[in-house]
């Protein structure tokens, strides 16, 4: 029997009331019940995108705050980015047209930066869009996905939205590769293995030798390497996409290049997989200003390298600071550090009281009592420690 909700209304039927007393007619009309989400989405836990941005902007002295919770660049992008965007807006090209389809000019610039040919590259609306595209293209209900944890949790939302079965791998020490556990988890039925290198939030790096081993051992498994923090670590597997047809490497302009607000990312893989991804890829998904800005950023690698050196120097300042105070600090190869505190809630509140916003990672496997903190320039780091140094004595 139908579960539709109905209500009975009195309506007049034309012609029925002529020459006789008016008599009501009962007609069943649907009321319009709630629209349910798809079954594969219904049980998902949304990705918790907790940001300090609103709190900082509402503070009267927000410019003195330290936003260290999302691993964004702590400086503005290359001046060439603003110059290129301003030139575009003041020129004879207008925003009333769609973006350049497929971001072809940006792909030309990326071939020089990555050393990978254009037919191996696809530009996406941030690397999140690339990861979502991969899951939407290659995963179906019941497919097995192996994910070492702790890691970037948004990818789990993408996989589970497809109805895939996620098998997480957690070793005794989250700050090591735990390769034996990963190999034990991967089976002939594993459709996809997701690795973040450097890993967020632990900083673990899976180098080309490790990735090569996975690609060779599991040729029927799609190996996805998320290299959002590649620029900081300078360790990459992107060149392997020419060799292995089961490898996809994703990257972003949101971190080291400082273009988080423009949402530009890209992926590199075998042309055959590019063909598959294009089945549902939206070629106009990357906005015009994002394409212009990212292309300009690639034209000023000196600015990038200066910032990377600042972050490396800052990590050494932080290493010395925390070693002197015997604080458990994991100085990663990315642009963040992880601290384990004996009283994390008190530490977080004390930092926030001083205008310092970091990320609580204590709910992640193996990271009880841990916070993650973005690393900025040397000058920013010295100002930070002057403000909060006494909290770690």
pLDDT (0 to 100) of residue 233 = 98
Q: What is the pLDDT of residues 239-263, one digit of tens each?
A: 999 999 999 999 999 999 999 999 9
CATH class of 53-74+302-392: alpha beta
Q: Where in the chain is the domain with CATH 3.90.1150.10?
A: 53-74+302-392
Predicted confidence at residue 6, as pLDDT, reads 36
Half-sphere exposure of 387 (CA within 13 A, CB side): 17
Buried-state track 96-135, b at ≥16 Cβ within 10 A, e below 16: eeebbebbeebbebbeeebebeeebbbbbbbbbbbbbbbb
Q: Do 185 and 146 touch, CB atoms closer than 8 A?
A: yes
Q: What is the pLDDT of residue 37?
A: 80
Percentage of the chain modeled with pLDDT above 70: 87
Low-confidence ranges of the chain (pLDDT < 70): 1-32, 46-64
Tokens 């503005």 map to which residue? Answer: 76
Domain(s) labelled CATH 3.40.640.10 in the chain stretch across 79-299
23: Cβ contacts below 8 Å, ≥ 6 apart: 16, 17
79-299 topology per CATH: 3.40.640
> Would you state the pLDDT for residue 63?
57
Q: What is the pLDDT of residue 9?
A: 43
**Residue 371 and residue 361 in contact, taking contact as beta carbons nearer than 8 Å:** yes
First to last CA, the chain: 70
pLDDT (tens digit per residue) in 291-318? 999 999 999 999 999 999 999 999 999 9
């Amino acid at each position: 029997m139908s579960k539709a909700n109905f209500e009975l209304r009195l309506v007049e039927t034309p012609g029925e009331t002529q020459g006789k007393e008016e008599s009501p007619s009962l007609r069943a009309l649907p009321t319009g019940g709630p629209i349910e989400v798809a079954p594969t989405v219904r049980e998902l836990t949304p990705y918790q995108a907790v940001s300090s941005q609103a709190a900082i902007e509402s503070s009267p002295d927000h410019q003195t705050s330290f936003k260290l919770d999302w691993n964004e660049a702590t400086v503005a992008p290359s001046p060439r980015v603003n110059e290129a965007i301003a030139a575009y807006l003041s020129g004879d090209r207008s925003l009333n047209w769609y973006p350049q389809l497929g971001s072809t000019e940006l792909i030309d610039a990326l071939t020089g930066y990555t050393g990978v040919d254009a037919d191996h590259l696809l530009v996406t609306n941030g690397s999140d869009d690339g990861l979502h595209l991969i899951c939407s293209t290659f995963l179906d209900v019941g497919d097995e996905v192996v994910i070492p944890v702790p890691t970037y949790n948004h990818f789990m939302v993408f996989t589970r939205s497809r109805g895939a079965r996620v098998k997480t791998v957690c070793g005794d020490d989250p700050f090591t590769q735990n390769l034996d556990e990963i190999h034990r988890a991967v089976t002939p039925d594993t459709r996809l293995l997701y690795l973040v290198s450097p890993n967020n939030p632990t900083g673990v790096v899976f180098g080309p030798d490790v990735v090569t081993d996975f690609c060779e051992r599991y040729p029927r498994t799609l190996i996805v390497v998320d290299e959002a923090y590649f620029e900081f670590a300078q360790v990459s597997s992107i060149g392997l996409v020419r060799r292995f047809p089961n490898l996809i490497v994703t990257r972003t302009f949101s971190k080291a290049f400082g273009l988080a607000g423009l949402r530009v990312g890209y992926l590199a893989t075998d042309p055959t997989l590019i063909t598959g991804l294009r089945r549902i890829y939206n070629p106009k998904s990357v906005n015009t200003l994002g394409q212009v800005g990212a292309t300009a950023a690639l034209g000023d690698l000196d600015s990038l390298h200066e910032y990377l050196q600042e972050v490396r120097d800052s990590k050494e300042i932080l290493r010395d600071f925390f070693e002197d105070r015997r604080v458990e600090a994991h100085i990663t190869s990315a642009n963040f550090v992880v601290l384990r505190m004996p009283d994390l809630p008190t530490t977080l509140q004390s930092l926030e009281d001083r205008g310092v916003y970091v990320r609580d990672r204590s709910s992640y496997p193996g990271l009880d009592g841990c916070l993650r903190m973005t690393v900025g320039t040397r000058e920013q780091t010295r100002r930070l420690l002057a403000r909060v140094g006494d909290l770690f004595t």
